Amino acid sequence: MANNNQGKMSREEAGRKGGEKTSNKYSQEHFEEIGQKGGDTTSQEYSQDHFENIGQKGGKTTSQEYSQKHFEDIGQKGGEKTSQEYDQKHFENIGQKGGETTSEKYGEKHYEKIGKKGGRNS
């Protein structure tokens, strides 16, 4: 409902109209630029721990709101879409990069250690 009993515009309607006017006034590039500036400023004001904490809280909340089936469904859809957009060579390249990065991060001793654990468990 656009107007309340006193003939005044509702807060919702005023916000919608203001948003439309602003959207029409500025270009997409303008919004991207101010978004980038805001993101840069925010990242300077808060620590990495801050972002990890709020991300974890958001993840917990989201996992409580949706079922396992929901995440399986969106994962399936995303996988299908991605496989349609990229060819096998793309996946080979990113797999190679990921393997190299992981190998550099953990080193040979790590793989020896987990290999021994795996051997004992099988």
Of all residues in the chain, what percent carry a pLDDT higher than 90?
Answer: 81
Residue 5 has pLDDT above 60, yes or no: no
Of all residues in the chain, what percent carry a pLDDT higher than 70?
Answer: 96
Name the pTM for this structure.
0.46
In tens, the pLDDT along 52-105 reads 999 999 999 999 999 999 999 999 999 999 999 999 999 999 999 999 999 999
Do the beta carbons of residue 4 and residue 10 sit within 8 Å?
yes
Structure tokens given for 76: 């399936």
Q: Mark 113-122 as b/e (b = at least 16 C-beta within 10 Å).
A: eeeeeeeeee
